[in-house]
Chains A and B, each alone.
Chain A
Amino acid sequence: MSQYLTKRNFVFLGILATFAYFYHKDGDVTTSVVSTAVSFGLPLALAAMVGIMCERTGIVNIGIEGTMLVSAFAAFFVSSLSGSLIIGFIAAVLVGLLAGLLLALMAVSWRMDQIIAGTIINILATGLTSFLFKQGHTLPDAMPEIDIPGLQSIPFFGPVLFMHGPITYFGLIFIIFLWVALFHTAWGLRSRAVGEHPGSADTAGVSVIRLRYLNVGLAGLIGGVTGAFLSLELVGSFERGLTAGKGFTALALMIFGRWNPLGALAAAMFFGVAQAVTNQLMIDQVVNIPQQFVNMLPYVLTILVLAFAAGKVRPPAAEGQPYEKEQA
């Protein structure tokens, strides 16, 4: 029994009790706030997965922001021009993959400073999307909401988890999949070994270069999915600077979640709730604060979270270091 009396479980119970209390007070509003929180939290969580996949193999990716921005752009304009959301989504994924491979090229093959490599992607993304941006485009359709039959009628959990767009479902399943893959498959073991001590993987016959390319490329692909989610599913349009710092917040969440997909998911959902609650308070005009302060909230929380959590965490040891094969 006593092994369950952990701090984490108390926090978990506390959160459940809080939801239960508010649900008891006003079921509809609570349900809608938490459901919105899932939508707000998901892009952060997925962006954090991009960071985790890269950093677990030892590549720092601060280009997540830019990756999402170009993919969101591609998703929106390709959908608008082709008249198909699916073609737009595929375009976003390909653009994301391209951004990932560009990072891999710079960081893995050219052994560039990884902060600079990521910054290049961010600047490139901001420049390209601003330059190519055209007013007056709209999406051919709204992204359809898929309600899972049966499950959607469960009170509270139905609307919160089972009444979303397709990318949301994909994202949630992917996060769990990534957790399993990272800790319970050979790919995960090798990836983590490469991120901690590339020499050990190399001498065991695992190609450090190939695995880093693979993971950074896949991460870029997920960054593309996240971008598509933003412009197609969450907002339904594109504007300059759509990503609004989410890529950087995601890095903070990754650290807060200790490079663990489920940890980062929990942290992202906490952020989502904070944002959704603020939104609700403004709609209800309970509080009347300028919009700018509300927009600041994620950043303030990021700083607080990092200040309190960061000192105790331990990043992958080989993070940020290019690998050069030692001559045996």
Chain B
Amino acid sequence: MSPLLEVIGISKQYPGVLANDNISLTVNKGEVVALLGENGAGKSTLVKAVFGLVRPDSGEIRIKGEPIIFGDTNGIIGRGVGMVHQHFQLVPVMTVAENIVLGDEPRRGMLLNMKKARAEVKALSERYGLDVDPEAIVEDLPVGMQQRIEILKALRKEVDLLILDEPTAVLTPQETDELLTVVRALATQGVGVVLITHKLREVMAVADRVVVLRDGKVVGTTSPKESDEEGLAQLMVGRDVVLRVEKGDAHPGKPALTIKGLVVRDDRKLKAVDGVDLEVLSGEIVGVAGVEGNGQRELVEAICGMRHREAGAVLVNGIATEDMHPHSVHLAGISHIPEDREKHGFVSTYNVADNLVLNQFDQEPFARGWIRNADEIEKNAESLVEQFDIRTPSIKTSTGALSGGNKQKVIVARELSQDLHVLVAAQPTRGVDVGSIEFIHNQLVAARDRGAAVLLVSAELDEILSLSDRVAVISRGKIVATLDAKGADRAYIGRLMAGLHD
């Protein structure tokens, strides 16, 4: 019998980049293949080619032995290829059953047959052991459950090959484990699964084979038995990577950032931060661990003066900061690496030099009275580009043209080069390549060692655990526990994140 999917020597040249360079790969029935690679390694081009959305320059793709035709996406789906997107494609206000049958609805005459739809969903969920309530409204369900609905949606179409695109990005550790169990169960039932990811732990846990992509090439095909996380990381990046951050002991001093009884509402006017008390000492890193959407964003925005504090106070070195006034908060000594760097981190049409002085352009030495001091701004930029290894054609290049990692380095350079009491870093390495992650991590530790109080918010538990000295777990807007990062138990923190505190 021919394999489910055969990719034979696919190449795709885009202007300036060879996105896929002679890639070959097979997926058999009942097999889990992990596609591992950094951002830009060519994973998504390959998947698009499988769905007929990208025409390869050379090579061939076969599904169950039959070559695919470029552009025939619906035909390819009809041959049993399903995809679960990273961003859920669900209608929040509709029920689970409605979402699953959308596009191929059971009917009774002209009308919808919702009774049959619910029965179908029940049968489907029993067959694959994925428990869901067909009548629940999707927006009321936790993310892990929503993903289960996505998988059921794909399975309803009798898929033989299921492609999961970064499926664990938004899950708690427990939900991730559950998903991996499901993936294994699907494979046992004969489904071939392609798992696209850059998380090594998952690959080790679930894959039968691992295909590592780098710069558009397959740089290695291995299995978890023959390799380990360090080895995979090295293949992925092309050099040795230190997965654990090397850092000495913290030498905490006085409280630098004090948060007292903070209450903040989100855009929907719901209480997102519900009475948070937190203290960060100078010379330590406190990591805020939590599933995304549990108030982290609102907490950070309120600290930085970007969102109204309904109650409570934020103090720097014992002095209260002003509500809803980012500029005065900044002057009080809080630096901020924002979560949404494109929106809050820099002005993409400004050049690198201007962005590097974005929050101090009006101060000495970058201004003399009302007049900008171009020489000083350039001198500053030259030295920071050097010091922070920002890869840019010149300091006059507009910042929007840089890669994600270098954009982030511009922000990190600006914030860390200033006289620093408190650093609030929100998702500082999101969407950043592994090399830059390492660099940014080291910079955060260096800031700590210079005596800054660092509040780190991240959706990656591994990042929190390896960087922080103390971990504060946030769940539904409350800090449910604060513990020492040294020797902290992942599973226990995971349970706290999920809101299951004892």
Contact of A193 among B87, B102, B107 (CB under 8 A): B102
- The reply to whether B103 and A205 form a contact with Cβ atoms under 8 Å apart is yes
Give B50's nearest chain A residue, CB to CB: A328
Complex CA–CA separation, A126 to B200 (angstroms): 64
> Do the beta carbons of B91 and A196 come within 8 Å of each other?
yes
B90 to A327, Cβ gap below 8 A? no
A267 shortest CB reach to chain B, Å: 21
Contact A189–B83 (Cβ < 8 Å):
no
Residue pair A189, B89 in contact (C-beta under 8 Å): no
Structural contact, B103 and A197, CB atoms closer than 8 A? no
Q: State whether A190 and B92 are in contact (beta carbons under 8 Å apart), knowing that A328-B48, A328-B85 are contacts in the complex.
A: no
A197 (CB) vs chain B CBs: closest residue: B91
Residues of A within 8 A of B101 (CB): 189
Q: Do the beta carbons of B74 and A186 come within 8 Å of each other? A: no
Which one of A196, A204, A206, A317 has the greatest number of beta carbons of chain B within 10 Å?
A204
User: Is the pair A186, B51 in contact by a Cβ cutoff of 8 Å?
Assistant: no
Kindly list chain A residues whose C-beta atoms are within 8 Å of the C-beta of B104. 204-205
Q: How far is the CA of A203 from the CA of B105 in the complex (A)?
A: 14
User: Is B93 positioned at the interface, with any CB of A under 8 Å from its CB?
Assistant: yes
B105-124 interface code vs A (CB 8 A; 1 in, 0 out): 10100111000000000000
**For the complex, what is the distance from the CA of A174 to the CA of B53, rounded to whole Å?**
41
Bitwise, B40-60 to A at CB < 8 A (1) or not (0) is 000000011001010000000
Contact A193-B94, Cβ < 8 Å, known A185-B111, A185-B112, A328-B85: yes
Question: What per-residue 1/0 map shows which CB atoms of B321-335 lie under 8 Å from chain A?
Answer: 000000000000000
A200 within 8 A of B: yes
A184, A199, A314: the one contacting B89 at CB < 8 Å is A199
Measured between C-beta atoms, what is the minimum distance from B308 to chain A in Å?
A: 19
B488 CB to nearest chain A CB (Å): 38
Closest A residue to B103 by beta carbon equals A204
Contacts of B87 in A (CB 8 A): 199
Closest to B51 in A: A328
Query: A327 to B111, alpha carbons, bound, how many Å?
Result: 33
Q: How many A-B residue pairs have CB under 8 A?
A: 68
Contact B85 A203 (CB under 8 A): yes
In the complex the two chains form, is A197's CB within 8 Å of B90's CB? yes
Residues in chain A near residue B336, CB distance under 8 A: none
* Least distance between A192 CB and chain B CB atoms (Å): 7
| Alpha-carbon separation in the docked complex, A189 to B98 (Å) | 8
Q: Within 8 Å of chain B (Cβ to Cβ): is A90? A: no
Query: Which of B48, B74, B99 is close to A327, meaning CB atoms less than 8 Å apart?
Result: B48
Whether A328 pairs with B112 at a CB distance below 8 angstroms is no
Chain A residues within 8 Å of chain B by Cβ, number = 23
Shortest CB-to-CB span from A218 to chain B, Å, is: 16
Q: How many angstroms between the C-alpha atoms of A205 and B47 in the bound complex?
A: 18
- State A185–B51 Cα separation when bound (angstroms): 30
Query: Known contacts A189-B98, A190-B102, A190-B103: does B93 contact A328 (CB below 8 Å)?
Result: no
Contact in complex: B94, A205 (CB < 8 Å): no
B48 touches A206 (CB 8 A): no
A260 to chain B, nearest CB (A): 13
Q: How far is the CB of B309 from chain A (nearest CB, A)?
A: 24
- Report if A201 contacts B (CB, 8 A): yes
A186-B107, A204-B103, A328-B53 as given contacts; A193 in contact with B91, CB under 8 Å: yes
Residues of chain A with a CB closer than 8 A to B153's CB: 204
Partner of B47 from the list A188, A197, A314, A328 (CB cut-off 8 Å) is A328
Give complex CA distance A50, B102 in Å: 24
- In the assembled complex, the Cα of A59 lies from the Cα of B73 at a distance in Å of 27
Query: Smallest distance from the beta carbon of B124 to chain A beta carbons, Å?
Result: 15
Which residue of chain A lies nearest to B88 when distances are taken between CB atoms in the complex? Answer: A200
Residues of B within 8 A of A206 (CB): 102-103
User: Interface 1/0s, chain A 169-205, versus B by CB < 8 A?
Assistant: 0000000000010001110111011001101111111
Q: Give, as a whole number of angstroms, the nearest-CB distance from A180 to chain B.
A: 8
Which of B51, B77, B83, B91 touches A192 (beta carbons < 8 Å)? B91
In the bound complex, CA of A26 to CA of B172 (Å): 69
Residue among B47, B51, B83, B89 facing the most chain A CB atoms (10 A cut-off): B89
Set of chain A residues within 8 Å of B53, measured between Cβ atoms? 327-328
Map CB proximity to A onto B458-499 as digits: 1 under 8 Å, 0 otherwise. 000000000000000000000000000000000000000000
- Are B74 and A205 within 8 A (Cβ)? yes
In the bound complex, residues from chain B placing their C-beta under 8 Å from that of A201 are 91, 102-103
B111 near A189: Cβ-Cβ < 8 Å: no
A197→B85 contact, CB < 8 A: no
User: With the chains together, A327 CA to B93 CA distance in Å?
Assistant: 25
Closest to B84 in A: A203
Contact call B92/A317, Cβ cutoff below 8 A: yes
Chain B stretch 1-53: residues in CB contact (< 8 A) with chain A: 47-48, 51, 53
A55–chain B nearest beta-carbon distance, Å: 14
What are the residues of chain A within 8 A of B92 when measuring CB–CB?
196-197, 317
Contact of B74 with A200 in the complex, beta carbons under 8 Å: no
Distance (whole angstroms) from the CB of B35 to the closest CB of chain A: 15
A162 CB, min distance to chain B CBs, angstroms: 27
Are B110 and A185 in contact, with the CB atoms below 8 A? Answer: yes
Contacts of B51 in A (CB 8 A): 328
B68 → A minimal CB distance (Å)? 14
**Nearest A residue to B78, CB-CB:** A205
What per-residue 1/0 map shows which CB atoms of A48-62 lie under 8 Å from chain B? 000000000000000
| B90/A200 in contact, CB under 8 A | yes
Contacts of B89 in A (CB 8 A): 197, 199-200, 202-204
What residue of chain A has the Cβ atom nearest to residue B109's Cβ? A185
Contacts of B103 in A (CB 8 A): 190, 201, 204-206
Residues of chain B contacted by A196 (CB below 8 angstroms): 91-94
Query: Using Cβ atoms and an 8 Å threshold, which residues of chain A touch B111?
Result: 180, 184-185
With a CB–CB cut-off of 8 A, which chain A residues contact B94? 189, 192-193, 196
Quick one: closest A residue to B154, CB to CB?
A203
Contact flags A297-328 to B (C-beta < 8 A → 1, else 0) = 00000000000000000100100000000011
Interface code B415-446, partner A: CB below 8 Å = 1, 0 otherwise? 00000000000000000000000000000000
B-side contacts of A186, CB under 8 Å: 105, 107, 112
Task: Name the distance in Å between A146's Cβ and chain B's nearest Cβ.
Answer: 27
B91 in contact with A184 (CB, 8 Å): no
CB distance from B116 to the nearest CB of A (A): 12
In the bound complex, what is the Cα–Cα distance between A180 and B108 (angstroms)?
14
Q: Smallest CB-CB separation from B83: which chain A residue?
A: A328
Q: How far is the CA of A201 from the CA of B110 in the complex (A)?
A: 20
Show the binding face of B for A, using Cβ within 8 Å: 47-48, 51, 53, 73-74, 77, 83, 85, 87, 89-94, 98-99, 101-105, 107, 110-112, 153
Q: Which residues from chain A sit less than 8 Å from chain B, CB to CB?
A: 180, 184-186, 188-190, 192-193, 196-197, 199-206, 314, 317, 327-328
**A/B interface sample: 6 pairs, CB < 8 A:** A188-B112, A189-B94, A189-B101, A189-B105, A193-B94, A205-B74
Listed from nearest, the 5 A-B pairs whose CB atoms lie closest are: A204-B103, A200-B89, A186-B105, A203-B89, A205-B103
Q: Apart from A185-B110, A189-B101, what 4 extra A-B contacts exist at CB < 8 Å?
A: A180-B111, A196-B93, A196-B94, A328-B47
